[in-house]
Copies of this chain bind each other. A is one copy, B any other.
Amino acid sequence: MERPERYHHGNLRQALLDAAEEVLIDGGIEALSWREIARRAGVSPGAPYHHFADKAALLTALAQQHLAELDHRFREVCTTHPEPHEQLRALGMVYVAYALEHPAAFRLMFRPEMGSPFGGASAETPVFGVLLQVVRACRAGATGDPAETERVACAAWGLVHGLAALLLDGPLAALATDRERVRALVATSTDRFNVDA
């Protein structure tokens, strides 16, 4: 989209990611076809293969971008909220909010047909790393089993992820538009989950 008159695009890779994002927003996942992406970037359907191995690779890269953004928001939460338990509640809100704000992108991160943009669930994993850190802070000073701490972090992730998934494509979809009820649901969920050792 930068300099259409030239033979070489300049930075097609990013242009493709932008085009994919654009398609994703106003057409959803079903509209996200390789050729449509190339079309929007003003390029022939063969060109993208010089920048991405295949469709899955492009989509994985896009998912990673969103994952990085979500990770950024997570870290922001940690700076604006002092107390660990408050941080945890805020993280839940941010997670669900992001899912509802970027539904198609959020779904993309958990599609089985492409390589998972997360690695595993370690301290270096984008979003999970922050979560694990906060959970550790909540349980600081306790003589608890470290494996249990990890399980608790996974459970916390599962909790908010499940809410997001059910709100997006599950039976709770009807609630998704009512911001206040969503907020209440997330609050109930996190408040009732006991993190402490």
CB-based contact B172/A121 at 8 Å: yes
A168–B161 Cα gap in the complex (Å)? 13
Q: What mask results when residues 110 to 135 of chain A are scored 1 for a CB within 8 Å of chain B, else 0? A: 11110010111100010010000000
CB-based contact A154/B169 at 8 Å: no
Copies of this chain, count: 2
Quick one: given A121-B171, A128-B171, A171-B120, are A112 and B29 in contact (CB under 8 Å)? yes
CB-based contact B171/A166 at 8 Å: no
A110–B193 Cα gap in the complex (Å)? 25
- Which of A19-27, A79-87, A181-189 makes up part of the contact surface? A181-189
CB-based contact A158/B166 at 8 Å: yes
8 Å CB contacts to B: which residues of A144-188? 148, 151-152, 154-155, 157-166, 168-175, 184-185, 188
Q: A118-B170, A120-B171, A121-B174 are in contact. List 4 more A-B contacts (CB 8 A).
A: A110-B169, A125-B171, A152-B188, A161-B162
